[in-house]
Structure 1
Amino acid sequence: MDKITALQTHNLTHTVTSKTGDLTILKGIDIEIKEGESVAIVGASGSGKSTLLGLLAGLDRNTSGEITLYNHSLTSLSEEKRALLRGQYVGFIFQSFHLLPSLEAIENVMLPSELKGDKQARQKAEHLLEQVGLSHRLTHYPRQLSGGEQQRVAIARAFASEPKILFADEPTGNLDEENGKTVIQLLFDLNRSQGTTLIMVTHDNALASMCDRQLIMSAGQLKEGNL
C-alpha cells in the first residue's frame, strides 16, 4: 500500500527585504516527503536550511508557492489556524531551545500534553525526561541547566506532543558525544516505533546518512544526494 504524503511543496520561494534590497533565500523548492520517512537537510551555513525548516513547520509564511501538510495548505491559513495545525501535527526541536524560563524542566515538557488536555501529562513528562537522562533535573529551571541539558529538555518536550512530523534543527549541536548518541537513538526510535516523520537540519554527515534520504541545500535550491 502506498504511503501517505505527509508534506509537499511546489515552487516554494522565500524572499526577505534588507537595506541593500531583496534577497531570495529559497528558489523554487519542490519536495515530497512520505509519512514515516526520515529526511536530512544538509548544506553550508547560510544556505537557507533553517529558513526552509521553519516554513515547512508553519512557523513562518513563504513568499510564493505552496506548502501542503497532510492535505492542509499552510499558505492559505491564518496564523491562528496554522498554530492549531502545528498543535495537531508538528513537533519542533529548536537549536536555541526556546524553553520557558519561568517553568521547571518537567513543566516545560508537560506543556504540550496539558494543552491537549492529557491527564497523564506529568507521568509522560517524567518518563521522557528519564529517557533523555534528566530524571534528576525535573524541578530545575532552564537557567539552572547546562546547554546540553536544556537541549535534552527541548527534545523531551517535542516528543511529548506525540507529533506526526518532528522537525529538528541541529538536534545534537550542543551535546557531547555520549548524549548526542542518546538523542540520535531517541529520534530514530520515535521515527520507527510511532511512524513519526522525521525532518532534520544537520551539519553532521554521519547523522544525516542515518536518514532514509538526504537533501542538499545549495544557493537556495534543493537536490537529492548521497553523503
Structure 2
Amino acid sequence: MLIARQLSKVVQTAEGSLTILDSVSLNLERGKSLAITGASGSGKSTLLGILAGLDEPTAGSVELDGDDLTGLDEEGRAAVRAKSVGFVFQSFQLMPGLTALENVMLPLELHGKSNARAMAELFLQRVGLSHRLQHYPRQLSGGEQQRVAIARAFASEPAILFADEPTGNLDAATGARVIDLLFELNRDQGTTLVLVTHEQRLAQRCEQHLVLQAGKAVEPGHLSAVQAAH
C-alpha cells in the first residue's frame, strides 16, 4: 500500500543546506496502521507531506497504492490524492460557511458522487453527529468539529488516511473518543492509517511505529514493527 525508499529532504537556508529528512524508509501493508512520532522539528510533518504526495523529496521514492508518486508531476500527484487519499488535520479545516452536512458533502460532490447527501448523512451518523447536520463549525465543539473532519475524510472511502496530530487541539477525554473512532473506521472499512502524533497512547494503538530523530528513522526500544523497505 505505502512504500518509501531512502527518502531525503534538503532545503537551502541562509546558513546553507538543512537536512530535514535523511534516508527514511518504510513499508506499510493495506489496512494496517502506522504512527510517526518524534520531537518537534524531527521531520514528522515533512515526511507525512511527502508520503501523501503534497511535497516532493530531494531524493528517494514513494509508492502509494500502486502509483509511483515521485515519478509524477503535481497534476499527477493530485489525481492520486483524489483517488486514494483522505486527510484529517489538527486544525480541522472545515469551511466556516457550510454546515456539518455540507462540509462532508462538498468533496463527494466535487468527485461527482450522485449519492453525496446520503453518504454524508451516513458517516455523520457513524461519528455520532446525526443531530448536528445543520450546525455550522462555530456552533460545534472542538471534538465535534474533528468528528466532522473524520466523517468527511472517511466518506470519500479513501484507500489510505493521513492524520496530522488529529487529537492535538482536543482535551484528553475527547481525544480518546476520536482515537477510538479512527480505529473503528480503520477496522470497518479496511482503510490504511498513517498518523503523526505526540501522543504515546495513540502510537501504541498502531501496528507499526516509526520514530524520527533529527530527520533519521530510529526504532523504538518497546516497539519493533518498523519495517525497512528494500
Task: Please report the TM-score for the alignment, with normalisation by the length of structure 1.
Answer: 0.90
Instruction: Work out which of the residue numbers 207, 212, 218 in structure 1 matches 2:213.
Output: 218
Which position in structure 1 is the counterpart of 2:59?
64
Shift of 1:122: 1.2
Q: Distance in 2 between matches of 1:148 and 1:209?
A: 21
The 3-state SS of whatever aligns with 1:16 is strand
Indicate the percent of aligned positions where both proteins have the same amino acid. Answer: 60
Pair 1:208 & 2:170 matched: no
2:2 corresponds in structure 1 to 7
Mean Cα deviation higher: 139-148 or 171-180:
139-148
1:17-166 alignment to 2 at 5 Å? Answer: 17-166=12-161
1:131 deviates by 2.7
- 8 Å CA contact 1:213, 1:224 repeated in 2: no
Q: Which runs of 5 or more residues in structure 2 are unaligned?
A: 224-230
Give the CA deviation at 1:167: 0.8
Decide whether the 8 Å contact of 2:88 with 2:150 is kept in 1.
yes
> C-alpha root-mean-square deviation of aligned residues, in Å?
1.7
Look up the match of 1:189.
184
**Pairwise CA distance, 1:150:** 2.3
Secondary structure class of the residue paired with 2:181: helix
- Letter of the 1:48 partner, please give it: G
Residues in 1 aligned to 2:112 and 2:182: alpha-carbon distance in whole angstroms: 25
Q: Which residue in 2 is equivalent to 1:167? A: 162
Question: Residues of 2 paired with 1:101 and 1:22: CA distance?
Answer: 39
CA 1:121/1:213 → structure 2, altered by over 3 Å: closer, same or farther? same
Letter in 2 for 1:58: G
Does the Cα contact within 8 Å between 2:91 and 2:169 map onto a contact in 1?
Answer: no
Q: AA paired with 1:189?
A: E
Indicate conservation of the 8 Å contact 1:9/1:29, yes or no.
yes
Aligned residues: 222
Structure 1 unaligned runs (5+)? 1-5
Please say which of residues 143-152 and 68-77 is displaced more in the overlay.
Answer: 143-152
Q: Deviations over 1:160-208 (max 9, x none)?
A: 1111111111112222333323222221122222221111011111111
Which amino acid is 1:69 matched to? L
